[in-house]
Chains A and B, each alone.
Chain A
């Protein structure tokens, strides 16, 4: 193990093998395997209690796994103390040091590395400029807004050129507008620095917006790992289909060779897997169709239950004959609005074969 592998090099690949962490009988991390490329932006996405934060804390070294392997590049860091890992961490509540100024916060990791004064000043200026906080160095933490604190935390986490940047729901305390703005900022910062970044969130939209790849985690296991588009368009299981994006899942008839729903064959582009058991209907992929059935469409008959105007779109809810409720989105241009049927009218909902997704209960 050489020390230059631990320090200073941006874009270190990360290898995780058979990582296990249990609390009593509960397996918080259930033998996880994951390879993250150098410089990649990977998001850990999952509901609360799924194990995503546990995994991040294990990578940071704050949680000791029971067994397994964790490597940064060629360096085994599994048993290394956190302060020797050369990682930058941004917490949800920022955890800025209130007894230090902005500049002192950012200089903290450099001082620990015994950098000389001129170097510290230079790096602090660089980092504050990077997060667009030039001239804020002498401010007290208490004088900053939430978004500014977020930026200071970021500057502090990258100022010493860590080999890995870890972020634990860093934007969840910000309001929606600021959050969306910061998503772009973080993305830009990542592209500039090229540091391997692991980002934890429970917000699927944030994950889709920011990531190179997303690892969906549930009950301490990866449900699916892939690029945002792949996860959205080709979910591997019922859980992923429901967790990413809005969807209504309709169960296929049991014990049939070909997929059928209430006795009618379901048309698909690709042959579904053997254990496939649900049709995924996303609001923006389905539309109202006429009575005469086009060959390329799967159709579902129902009644229009409700129409909710949401500004950029209209959300319709349709109750199927079996009692299930589907949602579909329509644009709000005048022509589309005028064409909307009345409430309680019978309608026909269509899903094109090319958009028809069929998922299994559990990933194979």
Chain B
């Protein structure tokens, strides 16, 4: 298989320009991340690269700032709650829509994918307009509801893909062996689509944690999320403190992604 993929009819030398071009594109893709991390360890008030010496000054000031830690806690709460709302709702919807043979299922599915298509700015002003009337502006509930709507399409698409790969005969067998539909789903289907569920949850977490535009409208003042607070302070100053937050965000995301990957790999190893 491996050999079929690479094409022996063209030499590496003739492709040199392609390699160089792609290397440049790869640098373009990675440079921002690679530059931010060292900058966060700079002792200077100003941004410098490479930093003249290493210091944890900006991390200390962050952890000592109740404003930043408070915003981080709000972001984490919102993201965890969004996972808890969007994942089960998305799994139920994906399963129901996959196996209900009703014509309307297709329509419902399209409706559930809409948040992915509608520009976030429109979602944001719509949500703001509604929440202002329901007194949900600047509440965690409101933020979680809005983020769950944004996360649902990801959960549904990822879980549906998992269900499509799943051999539905297994659920039929489980039912013939005496399991009710619910029991069959819980004991046979769910354990096997677990990698999809994990990545759906990860998507939901990041969707919420990284979201800015809706938060700009519905989480202001003391209920600001971390990203919202970053966005606001970016307009005032380009401080290395932001680099420190960015570094923390990058590491958090990668750890989460690695965890998801490890769990998926664990499943695979179990299978082989």
A112 B170 Cβ-Cβ under 8 A: no
- A91 CA to B170 CA in the complex, in Å? 9
Partner among A60, A93, A95, A160 whose Cβ is within 8 Å of the Cβ of B178: A160
| Contact assessment for A88 and B177 in the assembled complex, using a CB-CB cutoff below 8 Å | yes
Given A95-B169, A112-B183, answer yes or no on A85-B191 (Cβ-Cβ < 8 Å): no
Contact B169 A142 (CB under 8 A): no
A97-B177 in contact (CB<8A): no
Partner of A85, one of B176, B187, B271, B272: B176
Is the CB of A194 closer than 8 A to any CB of chain B? Answer: no
Q: How far is the CA of A268 from the CA of B136 in the complex (A)?
A: 91
Total A-B pairs, Cβ < 8 A: 72
- Chain B residue nearest in CB terms to A108: B177
- Chain A: which residue is nearest B176 at the CB level? A89
Q: B192 contacts A99, CB within 8 Å?
A: yes
- Tell me, yes or no, whether A213 is within 8 Å of chain B by CB: no
- B residues in contact with A62, CB < 8 Å: 172, 175-176
Contact with B along A234-256 (1 / 0, CB 8 A): 00000000000000000000000
Q: Which residues of A contact B174 (CB under 8 A)?
A: 97, 108
Tell me if B192 and A60 are in contact (CB < 8 A).
no
Instruction: Select which of B169, B177, B181 is within 8 A of A93 by beta carbon.
Output: B169
CB of A99 within 8 A of CB of B191, answer yes
Distance in Å from the Cβ of A335 to the closest Cβ of chain B?
53
In chain B, residues 213-272, which have Cβ atoms closer than 8 Å to a Cβ of chain A? Answer: 270-272
The winner among A88, A99, A157 for most chain B CB atoms within 10 A is: A99
Contact with A along B30-48 (1 / 0, CB 8 A): 0000000000000000000
Least CB distance from B253 to A in Å reads: 29
Q: Is B145 at the interface (CB under 8 A from chain A)? A: no
Mark interface residues in A64-102 (1 if CB within 8 Å of B CB, else 0).
000000000000000001110111110101011111000
Which residues of chain B are within 8 angstroms of A156 by Cβ–Cβ distance? 173, 177
B residues in contact with A60, CB < 8 Å: 172, 176
**Given A91-B173, A95-B170, A97-B188, do A81 and B178 touch, yes or no (CB 8 Å)?**
no
Q: Are A83 and B176 in contact (CB under 8 A)?
A: yes
Query: A364 → chain B, closest Cβ, in Å?
Result: 38
C-alpha gap A287/B103 in the complex (Å) = 60
Residues of A within 8 A of B191 (CB): 99
Interface residue? A181 (CB, 8 A): no
**Contacts A95-B167, A97-B188; is A83 near B180 (CB within 8 Å)?**
yes
Q: State in angstroms the CA–CA spacing of A88 and B191 once bound together.
A: 23
Report which of B175, B187, B271, B272 forms a contact with A82, defined as CB distance below 8 A: B175
Interface string of A96-121 (1 = CB under 8 A from B): 11110000000011001100000000
Q: Is the CB of A109 within 8 A of B178?
A: yes
Pairwise interchain contact B177-A160, C-beta atoms closer than 8 A: yes
> Which of A112, A113, A142, A166 has the most B CB atoms < 10 Å from its CB?
A112
State whether A109 touches B177 (Cβ < 8 A): yes
A95 touching B179, Cβ below 8 Å? no
Kindly supply a per-residue 1/0 record for chain A positions 274-304, scoring 1 wherever the CB is within 8 Å of any chain B CB and 0 otherwise. 0000000000000000000000000000000
- Known interface pairs A81-B175, A142-B272; 13 further A-B residue pairs with C-beta atoms within 8 A, sorted by A's residue number: A61-B176, A82-B175, A85-B176, A86-B178, A88-B176, A88-B177, A91-B172, A91-B173, A95-B170, A95-B173, A99-B270, A112-B183, A156-B177
A contact residues vs B (CB 8 Å cutoff) = 60-62, 81-83, 85-89, 91, 93, 95-99, 108-109, 112-113, 140, 142, 156-157, 160, 166
**Taking beta carbons and an 8 Å cutoff, which residues of B are in contact with A?**
167, 169-170, 172-181, 183-184, 187-188, 191-192, 270-272
Q: Nearest 5 pairs between A and B by C-beta?
A: A109-B177, A95-B169, A112-B178, A89-B176, A82-B175
